[in-house]
Amino acid sequence: MWISPNTDLFSEQAHLLNLLPKDGVLNDYGRVMATEEGDNYFTELRGDVAWQPDSALLNGRLIKTAREVVWYADSPFRYIHSGVERQALQWQGGSLLQLKRKIEELTVQRYNSCLLNLYHDGSQGIGWHADVEAIESNDVIASLSLGAARKFALKHKATGELRELTLEHGQVIVMRGETQRHWLHSVMKTKQSVGPRISLTFRCFPEQWRTQRYGA
Ligand SMILES: O=C(O)CCC(=O)C(=O)O
């Protein structure tokens, strides 16, 4: 079942509200699927996806994160992101492509790639960052959460203003416009006992980044 946005909020138009006070747009579509449907997607993605630790440069040293990731895209390519070479795999069929189509329909936007994150428990998060590929293009980033509810925070780069929301199983949010230019975002670690969570962030990857294309 794929339900209309924000049926659990007071207004069916709530996803049109901007949750940021300035310099960007954050829309909350609420929980867009039934719990069981979300459970099924979670199980399939956790099992089927080629998860691997993320890499990051910390004080010039390459470190591997406990959080696992994978990039999928319309065609496979390598690229440099935050000084680290990464590789996007070509979409496989199945649940990921089904979700891509549904998110495209819901948000009225096409995406050519998706970064998936797997947080095994509350000790894993992602630090403050902006999604650099969208900074120049002002592109839309749509994020679907599956699994444990986690706190998602945004911090204004100049003023330090904070906005927080808890992302629930099956919830979709969208960041648009100048959000990446002016705001950082993070998934905060927690000492509470929480289960695993998968996030899928659908993006419009700039064509010019595909300079190190390989394969066909
Ligand atoms: O897991 C999330 O909801 C956020 C992921 C994220 O910030 C990213 O992939 O850039």
Looking at residue 208, its pLDDT comes to 64
Looking at residue 77, its pLDDT comes to 79
Share of the chain above pLDDT 70, in %: 85
* pLDDT digit string, tens, across residues 125-163: 999 988 876 666 667 999 999 999 999 999 999 999 999
Distance in Å, CA 37 to ligand 1 centroid: 22
Domain 14-205: which topology?
Jelly Rolls (2.60.120)
Looking at residue 104, its pLDDT comes to 96
Distance in Å, CA 104 to ligand 1 centroid: 18
Give 189's DSSP letter. Answer: -
Mutate to test the pocket of ligand 1, among 201, 202, 204 (most ligand atoms within 8 A of CB): 201
The atom number, within ligand 1, closest to the CA of 150 reads 3
**DSSP string for residues in 107-118:** HT---SEEEEEE
Looking at residue 204, its pLDDT comes to 86
> For residues 35 and 207, what is the distance between their CA atoms, to the nearest angstrom?
36
Share of the chain above pLDDT 90, in %: 64
Place of tokens 């993070």: 186
Looking at residue 28, its pLDDT comes to 97
88 lines ligand 1 (CB under 6 A): no
Looking at residue 215, its pLDDT comes to 33
Looking at residue 67, its pLDDT comes to 95
Query: pLDDT per position in the chain (216 positions), as tens?
Result: 566 565 554 566 788 899 999 999 999 999 999 999 999 999 999 998 999 999 888 788 888 999 999 999 988 877 776 667 788 899 877 899 999 999 999 999 999 899 999 999 999 999 998 887 666 666 799 999 999 999 999 999 999 999 999 999 999 999 999 999 999 999 999 999 999 999 999 998 776 666 544 332
Mutate to test the pocket of ligand 1, among 143, 145, 202 (most ligand atoms within 8 A of CB): 143
198 lines ligand 1 (CB under 6 A): no
Contact present, 130 and 141 (Cβ < 8 Å): no
The atom number, within ligand 1, closest to the CA of 167 reads 3
pTM, whole model, 2 decimals? 0.90
> For residues 163 and 153, what is the distance between their CA atoms, to the nearest angstrom?
6
**DSSP string for residues in 80-96:** EETTEEEEEEEPPSTHH
- Geometric angle at alpha carbon 46, from 41 and 52, rounded to 5°: 140
Looking at residue 15, its pLDDT comes to 83
* pLDDT digit string, tens, across residues 64-81: 999 999 999 988 877 776
